[in-house]
Amino acid sequence: MKPDRESASLLAEVLDSEPDFASEHCDFTVGDRERGGPEGVPEPESPKGYGGADIHRTRRRHHTPHAQVVMALTTLPGDFDSTSLAQDLVGAGLAACVNVVPGIKSIYTWEGVPQVDQEQQLFIKTTTEQVDALWEVIRSRHPYDVPEFLVIPVVDGSEDYLRWVERSVGPRAES
């Protein structure tokens, strides 16, 4: 069931008045937009929201960007000593924090054969400056022929946390 245009307008009013994440971090325009993009270039058509109303969201730029903070992901076998690896990554300044999530089930195809394995997922918070060195350590200690190594940019987050990540990685003084 599709809400009518009146319902869409009511939704827009609620979104504009509620102090939630969306209203804190996004600008909403409901209805026909007439402004153009950069240097007069027309913006693409807005996505259609409830009842066919045009709803356009853009990121507010009031937050300091932390483009260098990233999250790297890797999976390891369920019986791998991931705690030791995580401690070494943090101790070497390659990661600010590593979350180890045990007991995940991975379903994939390897060399044409379907597989189902118990694994662990590592969420590694770091910066772009550390990614190459992080990859070298993961690759050298990983038991798989083709280890998962995905690096995902962090587009926003708690300012205090992002600053903590930035301060927590990097070369360590020899003791």
Per residue of the chain (175 residues), give pLDDT as tens: 445 566 555 555 654 554 444 444 444 344 444 444 445 555 555 444 445 544 443 333 344 555 599 999 999 999 999 999 999 999 999 999 999 999 999 999 999 999 999 999 999 999 999 999 999 999 999 999 999 999 999 999 999 999 999 999 998 766 5
In a domain, 116, yes or no: yes
- Residue 117, strand partner residues: 106
In a domain, 155, yes or no: yes
Between strands 97-110 and 113-127, the pairing is antiparallel
Place of tokens 């240097």: 39
Q: How many domains does the chain have?
A: 2
In a domain, 173, yes or no: no
Domain that holds residue 76: 69-168
Give dist(CA 168, CA 111) in Å, integer. 40
Handedness of CA 103, 105, 110, 113 (dihedral sign): positive
